[in-house]
Amino acid sequence: MQFPKLTPLQSRLAASLIASAILVLVYIFLTPNHFAYAAELDSILQEDHNHHRLHARAPADLLDDLDDYDDAEGYEAEFMGVSRSITGRVAAFSDALTNNVVNKMDLDPGLTHNYVFAKAEVLGNHTDKGVGYPSVLQLQRRSVNLDGTESLMLDQEDRGDGELLDEEETEDIHKRQDEGPAVYISVNACRQPSPNGTVSGSPPHLTMYISKTNKAPGRNSQKDLVTPPIPFQGGFANYTLNSTGDVYIGISAPDLPKNYAGNWHFEIAASIDGLYQQYHDSEFLFSVDTDSGSALFITHNLTPNDTMPDVDSEWVKFGPLFTMYAFPQDYRPIKGLEQSFCAIRESFDAASLPVSTGMTQRMTPALNQPPLNQKLTNQTKQQFHIDGLNASSTYTAYLAMVGNGTTEGPDVPDGKVVGGGGQIWKAITFNTKTDGNCQVIYNLTFCSDVAYAVPANPSKFNAIGLASLYDTQAQSYYDNFTKSIAQVACDTTDTARYSLAKTCDDCAQDYKNWLCAVQIPRCEDFSSSPALTYLQPRNIGQDFINGTEPNANATAEKRMSFTQSRNPLIDSVIKPGPYKELLPCEDLCYSIVQSCPANLGFSCPSGKNLEAGYGKRDPSEQNMTCSYLGAVLQKPSGGGRLSISAGLVVSMALLAVMLAG
C-alpha cells in the first residue's frame, strides 16, 4: 500500500504530533511519584537509625522476604551522570562504618545487624597514629611447635599502633598488596544475656560474617563470605582482609537458651590503619607477691634492652601506659567475655578494689631468660598495687591499655583514633595469703629493689611505717660497711688492685643487695603446706597476732632457728607471731665473697649451717625455692611458684661479722 504524499505543512504537523506523544510517554515514566519513592528509600537507608528496631518487630515471613531482597540486587537510586562505583551501594538495614570510629549496638537474640565499610573509606586517607611510645614494646607471642608443644617468642609492637607482625605475616601482607589496602575489623561484646537462675557456663556467643559482595551477610545469608563465620572468643572477634571496594559485615546473635534473659551490647570498628580493639594471648603482667588483703604486680621491661638509659628516662616522664583490673575467680558478669576490653572495663569496681600504679626502675630479670641464668636489669617498667582483697581467696587480674595508650576514641572530636578501642592481655590468677601477718612493701628509699611480703603486725604498723622501719635499719648497717670499704685502695693501678675481675663498686652493690635480702626476709603463711620444705618456720615461740597459739612440733621447738627470726628487730619490735620464711638464696653469699676484698673477712657457711640459713634454687626451674631481690611470680603452680630472677644471700653468722665491721 502506498502512503499519500504529504505537503510540507502536513509533514511539519505530523512531526509535532509524534514529538508530543514522545513527551507524554516520558512524562508518564518520569512521574514525580517515582522520584518521591526513590528519595524516601535513600532517606531511610542513610538517616533513620531506628530501622533495625522495625526489623526486630517484623513478622518472620516478612523477614524471610527481606533477607531474600538483601541477597538480590533490589532497587538502587541512580543519578544521571554519576557512576555507581562512586555513589556505592548500601544494603537495607546496614550502618556505615567510618575509619577508626567505633559503632555501638544492642542486639536481641536471633537477629543480625549489618554494616558496610564503604569503598570511599577503604581507599580513603589514613588517620594520624599520634605521638606513640618512647620505644617499641617487647611482647610475647605463643607459637605451636610441630610436636604440639608451645613456645614463647618475642614480637615488637609498632610505636603506638598496636600491630604485631612477624616475618611470615609481613611477607603475606606484601603478597596481598595487589588485592588492595588491608582492612582491619574488630568487635568487642561488652555485655551479654544474664542467667535467670543457677546455670553453668556462659550464654552462647555472637558470630561475625564478612563479604565483599553479599550486602547483608549473617546467620541466614552466608553466600560469598570471604572467610568462614567467625565466632566470638571470650567476647572478642577480629579479621583482616584486603579490598578495593565495599566490605560488608554482619553480626548475628544466637537464639537464647532457657534460663537466660536479655541481649548483647557490642562495639564494632573498621580501620585501614590497624585493629581498633585487641586481645593478646600472652602475659605482659606478672604477680610479684601478695598478702592477705593486697597484691603487687609489675609489667615486663618497657625498653628493649638495658643499654638505653635515655629511653628509660623518657618512659619515666611518659608515665603509666597500662591499667589493671581484678575480679574474684569465676566472676559471673565477665564469664565468657574475658577477651573483651570494654566488658572487663565496665565490670570492674574501682571503689571496692582500688589500684595504684606508677613507673619504677626496680631490678627485675630480662624477658624470656631461664631463671637460673637470668640477667638482672634496672630497666623501666610499670607496677600496680591493688587493695581491698579478701584473705585466702583466688583472683583474676587483667592488664589492659585504655585507648591506644595515649588517646581514647571518644576523647577526640571526630572519634578517629587508631587503636582507640583499647587492648587486653591474657589474664593471670593469684592467691592472697591467709594468716594476716605478712605485708607487701615496695618503693623503699634505700633497699629500692625490695618488693615482696615481709613479717608484719597490722595492729602496730601500716605498710608505709613498716617499710620505713626495715629500710632505716638496713641503711644504718650499710653506713658501717662504707667505712670499711673506704679503707681499701679502690682507685689504683691494675697491678695494685685486689682483683682484676671485680671492683669496689661491685663489692658495694653485692653487699647492699645481700644486706637488704637478709635483713628484710620474705614472709609466707605459717599455715602453708608442710610439703613446701624450703619454707623455714620462724618465731614459733610467740602467739599469733590474734592471740592463738601455734601448733608446733617438739622437734621444731628445739631448733633455735625456728624460735626466732633472722632479724632480731622482727621479734622485739614488730612481733608478727609465727610465720614462715622463704630463705634467701645461697648464691648471694658467694657473690659477696667473689666481689669483695679478702681483708674484709667475708666467708660463707657450709654444710648444716648453710642449709639452716639459706635456700637453694630449684634445678628444674619450676618453683621459687629461695628468695632474691627482683623475684616475681610468673604464675601460680600448686603450692610452689615459678620464678624469673636471680639473687643474693649470706649466713646469719656472716651477718654478725659484717655488721660489726
Q: What is the reported pLDDT for 166?
A: 56
Q: What is the reported pLDDT for 644?
A: 29
Residues 109 and 194 in one domain: yes
Q: What integer is the mean pLDDT of 562-582?
A: 93
Closest C-alpha among 569, 565, 520, 521 to residue 539: 565
β 376-377/103-107 pair status = unpaired
DSSP-derived 3-state class of residue 480: helix
Q: At residue 79, does pLDDT exceed 50?
A: no
Residues 69 and 134 in one domain: no
Q: At residue 81, does pLDDT exceed 80?
A: no
Encode pLDDT of 93-122 as tens digits.
689 999 999 999 999 999 999 999 999 999
From CA 456, how far away is CA 462, in angstroms rounded?
9
Alpha-helical segments (H) within 178-251? none
635 in a structural domain: yes
- Give the Cα-Cα-Cα angle 636, 295, 460 (nearest 5 degrees): 130
74 in a structural domain: yes
Alpha-helical segments (H) within 99-235? 119-122, 167-175
From CA 659, how far away is CA 654, in angstroms rounded?
9
Residues 57 and 154 in one domain: no
525 in a structural domain: yes
Q: At residue 143, does pLDDT exceed 70?
A: no
Encode pLDDT of 169-179 as tens digits.
666 655 556 68
Closest C-alpha among 94, 273, 90, 95 to residue 186: 273
Q: What is the reported pLDDT for 49?
A: 40
Residues 148 and 269 in one domain: yes
- Give the Cα-Cα-Cα angle 395, 401, 406 (nearest 5 degrees): 155
Residues 522 and 648 in one domain: yes
Per-residue buried b or exposed e for 252-266, using 16+ beta carbons within 10 Å of the residue's own CB: bbbebeeebebbbbb
Residues 144 and 70 in one domain: no
Contact assessment for residue 256 and residue 111, using Cβ atoms and an 8 Å cutoff: no
Closest C-alpha among 614, 620, 431, 452 to residue 528: 431
- Of all residues in the chain, what percent carry a pLDDT higher than 90? 51
Residue 28 structural domain: 15-90
Residue 439: alpha-carbon gap to chain centroid: 26
Q: At residue 245, does pLDDT exceed 70?
A: yes
The pTM of this model reads: 0.77
Encode pLDDT of 448-475 as tens digits.
999 999 999 999 999 999 999 999 999 9
Residue 49: alpha-carbon gap to chain centroid: 34
Q: How many domains does the chain have?
A: 3
From CA 467, how far away is CA 653, in angstroms rounded?
25
Higher-pLDDT residue of 259 and 398 is 398
For 60, list phi and psi in degrees, rounded to 5.
Answer: -60, -40
238 in a structural domain: yes
DSSP assignment of 519-531 equals HSPEEE-TTS-TT
Highest mean pLDDT among 76-80, 81-85, 566-570: 566-570
Alpha-helical segments (H) within 450-550? 463-485, 504-519
**Reported confidence tier of residue 29, pLDDT bands at 50, 70, 90:** low
CB atoms within 10 A of CB 619: 8
**Which one of 90, 122, 137 terminates a domain?**
90
Encode pLDDT of 41-69 as tens digits.
333 333 344 344 334 334 444 444 444 44
Encode pLDDT of 574-587 as tens digits.
999 999 999 999 98
From CA 357, how far away is CA 351, in angstroms rounded?
15
Residues 67 and 156 in one domain: no
Contacts of 533 by beta carbon, 8 Å cutoff, 6+ apart? none
For 186, list phi and psi in degrees, rounded to 5.
Answer: -140, 145
Residues 216 and 78 in one domain: no
Contact assessment for residue 132 and residue 273, using Cβ atoms and an 8 Å cutoff: no
Highest mean pLDDT among 163-167, 334-338, 559-563, 649-653: 334-338
Which single residue is written with the C-alpha cell 549489618? Answer: 114
DSSP assignment of 29-65 equals HT-HHHHHHHHHHHHHHHH-TTHHHHHHHS-HHHHHH
**Residue 561: how many CA atoms within 13 Å on its side-chain side?**
16
For 400, list phi and psi in degrees, rounded to 5.
Answer: -145, 165
Residues 495 and 558 in one domain: yes
Per-residue buried b or exposed e for 347-358, using 16+ beta carbons within 10 Å of the residue's own CB: bbeeeebebebe
Contacts of 545 by beta carbon, 8 Å cutoff, 6+ apart? 436, 437, 457, 458, 459, 575, 576, 577
233 in a structural domain: yes
Q: What integer is the mean pLDDT of 225-241?
A: 97
Residue 378: alpha-carbon gap to chain centroid: 22
Residues 213 and 77 in one domain: no
528 in a structural domain: yes
Cell of 199: 546455670
DSSP-derived 3-state class of residue 106: strand
**Reported confidence tier of residue 439, pLDDT bands at 50, 70, 90:** very high
Q: What integer is the mean pLDDT of 606-627?
A: 84
Residue 425: alpha-carbon gap to chain centroid: 3
CATH number at residue 254: 2.60.120.680
Q: At residue 558, does pLDDT exceed 80?
A: no
From CA 274, how far away is CA 238, in angstroms rounded?
11
- The length of the chain is 661
From CA 395, how far away is CA 429, in angstroms rounded?
6
From CA 661, how far away is CA 658, in angstroms rounded?
5
181 in a structural domain: yes
**Reported confidence tier of residue 27, pLDDT bands at 50, 70, 90:** low
β 137-144/150-157 pair status = antiparallel
β 452-455/438-441 pair status = antiparallel
Higher-pLDDT residue of 585 and 618 is 585
- Sign of the dihedral defined by the CA atoms of residues 315, 318, 319, 325, in that order: negative
Q: What is the reported pLDDT for 648?
A: 27
Cell of 617: 634454687
For 309, list phi and psi in degrees, rounded to 5.
Answer: -60, -35
The three-state DSSP-derived secondary structure of 555-587 is: HHHCCHHHHCCCCHHHHHHHCCCCEEEECEECH
Cell of 569: 628487730
Residues 77 and 213 in one domain: no
Closest C-alpha among 325, 577, 626 to residue 452: 626
Residues 79 and 137 in one domain: no
* Long-range Cβ pairs for the range 308-317 (8 Å, 24+): 308/135, 308/379, 311/134, 311/135, 312/361, 312/379, 312/380, 314/134, 314/135, 315/134, 315/135, 315/359, 315/380, 316/359, 316/361, 316/380
Q: At residue 199, does pLDDT exceed 80?
A: no
